Chain A
Amino acid sequence: MLLYTTRRILLLIPTLIGITLVSFLILQLVPGDPARTIAGLEADEETVQSIRTQLGLDKPIFVQYGRFIRNTLTGNFGRSIRTQNEVVAEVWPRFINTLELALASTIIAVFLGIPLGTLAATHHNSPLDYCTMAAVLLGISTPTFWSGLIMILIFSVCLGWFPPGGAHGFLSLVLPSLTLAAPSAAIIARMTRSSMLEVLKQDFIKTARAKGQTESRVIFEHALQNALIPTVTIVGLQFGYLMGGAILVETIFTLPGLGRLLVDSILTRDYPVVQAGVIFFAGSFVLTNLGVDLLYNFLDPRISYEKR
């Protein structure tokens, strides 16, 4: 277990280096002269030159990348071109907001998805099962930027229960996290259903029933615990996708999150902020996956990674 954990953490290093490389390349690959692109067409040579020096674009590329890695490790992403503030000071509070949104959505998705999937599996081929599967299909096919608008239309324009946008405490987080949670809840429900169906076919379930255990004990104590193992992986992946999905949801509900900041920074060509945003997003995604992998190993001791 310890060996596996260490190895898994060590394996993370090349991926993290890859992420910094992608983020670094964003600025390098911009067609033409990046400093000129950032400054805009009307800018004079002096402004362009000052941006070039500020971003270190006048140095050889390897020196630039070395400096980029060092700065990333020390959390120094330079200054935002648009606001001239420290990039970290801009990104960090936004990151926390997005994290909150993603966490709230994950919780909703889990508490919606797992019971729905279990119900569908225990009532296999019944109307309840069909309804759940229809809801699942709708959930994964409806774009969040559309379902979000429908939510605003129903719950804030017509009913007036929740604010249509902005960050004003708990109430303003309800609609965005519900919107963001819907596709993930659907995926979790589908996964739970199929792995539950698989488990319910196993012999130990027959044994449990044969020795006269109540149906609820069979389902909750014997079946569900085993069926949830693959679901854990999905939940971990979903958390990462929810961070990504937040980009759209924050735009609809005008939430000051990292996704919205990233979009605004791309639109205004504020590359230092874009680079930091990309690293924060991808880094948190990779770290969640690591956590899930470790948890998975802990939950299912049958899987021995050392053997592979």
Chain B
Amino acid sequence: MNNSNLEKMIPVFSAAFALVYIVSVELNWALFTYHPKIGQWGWLVEPSRDGPPMYWYGWLVTSTLGATAASVIAWPLLKNRPTQYWIGWIVPLLVIISVFYFFRDWFLR
């Protein structure tokens, strides 16, 4: 796979990253949990051990792995087409807009 081929996968990576990320947040698909008060890590989603658990790091790793997998899976569809730049920013833009909707409860209390 040469550089040009890799470049065709980058827009798909950015789009998939945003999509997998927002799904991970909503369904809590964290690959690991951090317990900041006691400085401990745990695999997958864990309930609180002591103090609030943090899933953000786990969501980032889930999204990176998911986006990489999506890029590889999409590769046969991409290799004979020009680079689809648009998909790489339209999808994250829609996800950004959706974030306001998903977190609206904080502003309605």
Partners in one complex: no
Which positions in A face B, CB cutoff 8 Å? none
